[in-house]
Chains A and B, each alone.
Chain A
Amino acid sequence: MPIGDLLYACVECRTEGSLRRAKRGEVCDRCGTRYTRADGALIRCERPGQEPEVKHPAEWLDHLHEQPLHHPATTAAVTLRCASEYKPYTHAGVLLGFIEELGPPEEGTLELGPESIVFRSATGERRWPLDALTAVQPTTGTLNLKVRNGPLIALRFRTGSPLLWEERVKNAIQERFAAAGRGDIAEYLPRIVCG
């Protein structure tokens, strides 16, 4: 869902993850608001019974940030892959760097608690304390988390938006830092650094 990757909730009814692909664009399955791409990267929003409104994605995102979501999801269906090892990458006999080797995929649900991130699957439960995270790295479809002295965790979202979950995880880590008197976080990549 191209637009749904950016707009993690309907701008009209503020329901999270409600955009579904339709014959033309994407439609909120709660209030029927339709989203289509207009000129360039502009997004046209057609609320039922109202004139269409065209705005830049930055403006729509700001609009979403203005008010809290209705019934925000507390869990998301994800596919987890972990990378514990890094393979040297060479070309013509010269070491260029290292690349991560991701392990097999595992499907489950993700839950963000006040102290940790929990992944539950058929094989059991894995818990990563927020204090142990050293980096938060979003890609278009996945959210990558690095655990101190631990693996790189790649979470591909089957429901929910990685963009929204990135914000949630960052906010949760920031709250932990603030509570511990460690100040504001300046950046989350390549490692979490306070300003």
Chain B
Amino acid sequence: MRVNGATPFKGAPRWEYDLYCRLVRTAWKAAGGSLHVSGLENIPPEGPCFLIPNHQSYLEPLLIASVVPRMVHPMAKSGQFAMPVLGRLLSRVYGFPVRRHQVDAQAARTALRRLASDAAVMIFPEGERTWDGRLQPFRIGVLRLILKVGVPVVPVRVDNAYDLWPRWERLPRPGPLHLTFKPPLHFPKLERRSERTRAAVDDVRRQLSAALAGPLDQRGL
């Protein structure tokens, strides 16, 4: 399936992608970290879907991609693509940039094209790492994008990553990191902008917040 006659994207072949994943997991273990993953069966084995994790540190984008049994297409901040080696590597493993300081129609288009080619697109709806460990407000644009396509949304709850590498710390302290892939949420496909009302957006926000809230948020801190 193609969108607007877009050229299909060519990234790393499967064997190379798997090699990067194995390298990430091995490096994490070698550094003294461990991974506790549950709910992988909740990820649709094929077809388009969103992976929507909470964002606690730089660790989880890599580690989530390394354990998911299918290729993950992460949306990442544009600044990372400005770095020559990292940018090339990111795009090779199916990452694509988003400018966070303005509405980025091209990033949305790229996400739609990837979904149209049956990809699993990973977006961090908070838009940045948390400063204090609490779940942050979700970006309205991400919630609208979810409604626009109506594909399954798998919330990914990340726990303990903030304790290992809080945003204000220079380097991580490897330790146990927990990833929980929750059962997919299904939202209606609302292609017309006028259909994506505030009530519809609030419903996505409410369901995602419930799925991604952690102990700190539940304590009301």
Contact = CB atoms under 8 A, between A and B. Distances in A.
Contacts of B118: none
Nearest to A87: B82
B78 A190 contact: no
Interface in B1-19: 6-7, 9-11
A96 B217 CA distance: 35
Contacts of B129: 140
Contact of B9 (A5, A92, A98, A101): A92
Given A5-B168, A56-B133, A193-B140, A100 B79 contact: yes
A57 B91 contact: no
Interface string B161-183: 01110111110000000000000
Interface in A109-135: 134-135
18 contacts: A5-B168, A6-B132, A58-B132, A58-B133, A59-B221, A91-B9, A97-B98, A98-B97, A99-B81, A100-B78, A100-B79, A100-B82, A100-B99, A134-B102, A137-B101, A152-B101, A190-B141, A191-B103
B107 A58 contact: no
Nearest to A86: B99
A187 B79 contact: no
B82 A56 contact: no
Contacts of B133: 41, 56-58
Nearest to B170: A2
Contacts of A186: 140
Given A6-B168, A96-B91, A193-B140, A41 B163 contact: yes
A31 interface: no
Interface of A: 2-3, 5-6, 37, 39-41, 56-59, 61-62, 86, 89, 91-101, 134-135, 137-140, 144-146, 152, 163, 186-187, 189-191, 193
A56 B133 CA distance: 9
Interface string B143-174: 00000000000000000101110111110000
B87 interface: yes
B59 to A, nearest CB: 13
A56 B216 contact: yes
A99 B99 CA distance: 7
Contacts of B104: 97-98, 190
A6 B87 contact: no
Contacts of B127: 189
Given A40-B164, A92-B11, 11 more contacts: A6-B131, A6-B166, A6-B168, A39-B163, A41-B162, A56-B132, A89-B87, A94-B9, A97-B81, A97-B104, A140-B168
A98 B91 contact: no
B110 interface: yes
Given A93-B7, A94-B7, A100-B82, A187 B101 contact: no
B70 interface: no
Contact of B166 (A57, A99, A152, A191): A57
